[in-house]
């Protein structure tokens, strides 16, 4: 097991590629866009430079990590020698089903297919392939090189040896695997997203302002980041997508996304990545200035 392909060079994909490469694995980073691959490599380089500056790794470690990553714009070329493929594409059911159908057709028969989905059914994704026993969830946390947790999600047909292999591999990259079963939102987002949604409802109902809600949760509950700031960091579109998966998956109104969240996503106010969400990021990526509509 030395060749690992990663599908998607965005925030999660480049973080996953960085982590495996740093631990000596040959990583094939795949995206349909060369520009996205270039941005992903630039992010990896910047993050490695930061680690060198903090003396967590050496310059040689940085260079070895970068040398372990090869980029491809063709899935078929990128996965031809992969023992494991980790899909980290956009959190969209139809897209993921298509990616896994394509992977099943071009990957070697023995290749394990993992998805970094944060909420979508592993069983549903596996059903798009002819190897459901080799499909598993590996939900990394953002930022991947720093966060220790990886949720390992067993689909309905996931084989025991695939689960054992994935857990062992996760430990080898110095992460902590936690095994969970396949239900919408798994554990992390089943608990986190309703809290974020309730925080947005609290703002929507005029109970308190953005900074006040976040301050209560940071100082009162010892959260390192307030829920509205965290929503901005995750991406409000991603939060909405996960809530919708749980809402439709459980048919329970307690998971229904707040109308304010829906409106903000419709208006393109997605958080850090769009420059504005609950906070204004036009001058800083830190949540220091509440967005104009909430101030």
Which tokens sit at 229? Answer: 């700031």
Q: Which of 47, 87, 121, 139 is flagged as catalytic?
A: 139
Which position among 14, 18, 47, 151 bears the catalytic label?
Answer: 151
Return the structure tokens found at 267.
């208006």
In degrees, rounded to 5, the angle at the alpha carbon of residue 234 between the alpha carbons of residues 230 and 235 is 115
Active site residue 110: no
Length of the chain: 295
The residue annotated as part of the active site, out of 3, 14, 116, 118, is 118
Within 10 A of 290 (CB to CB), how many other CB atoms are there?
A: 17
Q: To which H or E segment does residue 78 belong?
A: helix 75-78
Q: Is residue 139 flagged as an active site residue? A: yes
- Give all strands (DSSP E) within the chain, no chain letters: 3-7, 26-30, 69-72, 84-87, 112-115, 135-140, 149-154, 176-181
Sign of CA dihedral 162, 163, 169, 173: positive
Give dist(CA 38, CA 33) in Å, integer: 9
Task: Tell me whether residue 151 is one of the annotated catalytic residues.
Answer: yes
For residues 184 and 121, give the distance between their C-alpha atoms in angstroms, rounded to a whole number. Answer: 6
Cα(285)–Cα(295) distance, integer angstroms: 18
User: Which of 3, 14, 47, 189 is the catalytic position?
Assistant: 189
| C-beta separation of 16 from 6 below 8 A | yes
Q: Which residues are catalytic?
A: 118, 139, 151, 189
């Amino acid at each position: 097991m030395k060749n690992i392909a990663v599908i998607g060079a965005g925030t999660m994909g480049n973080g996953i590629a960085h982590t495996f490469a740093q631990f000596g694995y040959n990583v094939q980073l795949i995206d349909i866009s060369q520009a996205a691959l270039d941005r992903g490599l630039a992010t990896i380089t910047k993050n490695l430079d930061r680690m060198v500056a903090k003396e967590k790794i050496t310059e040689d470690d940085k260079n070895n990590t970068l040398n372990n990553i090869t980029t491809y714009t063709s899935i078929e070329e990128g996965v031809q020698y992969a023992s494991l493929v980790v899909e980290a594409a956009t959190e969209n059911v139809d897209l993921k089903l298509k990616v896994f159908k394509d992977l099943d057709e071009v990957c070697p028969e023995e290749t394990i297919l993992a998805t970094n989905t944060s909420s979508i059914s592993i069983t549903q994704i596996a059903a798009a392939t002819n190897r459901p026993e080799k499909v598993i969830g590996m939900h990394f946390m953002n930022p991947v090189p720093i966060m220790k947790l990886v949720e390992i999600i067993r689909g309905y047909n996931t084989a025991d040896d695939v689960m054992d292999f994935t857990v062992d591999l996760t430990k080898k990259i110095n992460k902590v695997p936690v095994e969970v079963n396949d239900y919408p939102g798994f554990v992390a987002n089943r608990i986190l997203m309703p809290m974020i949604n309730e925080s947005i409802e609290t703002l929507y109902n005029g109970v308190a302002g953005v900074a006040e809600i976040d301050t209560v949760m940071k100082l009162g509950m010892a959260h390192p980041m307030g829920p509205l700031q965290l929503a901005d960091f995750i991406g409000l579109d991603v939060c909405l997508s996960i809530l919708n998966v749980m809402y439709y998956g459980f048919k329970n109104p307690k998971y229904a996304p707040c109308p304010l969240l829906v409106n903000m996503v419709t208006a393109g106010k997605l958080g850090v990545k769009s420059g504005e969400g609950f906070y204004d990021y036009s001058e800083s990526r830190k949540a220091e200035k509440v967005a104009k509509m909430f101030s």
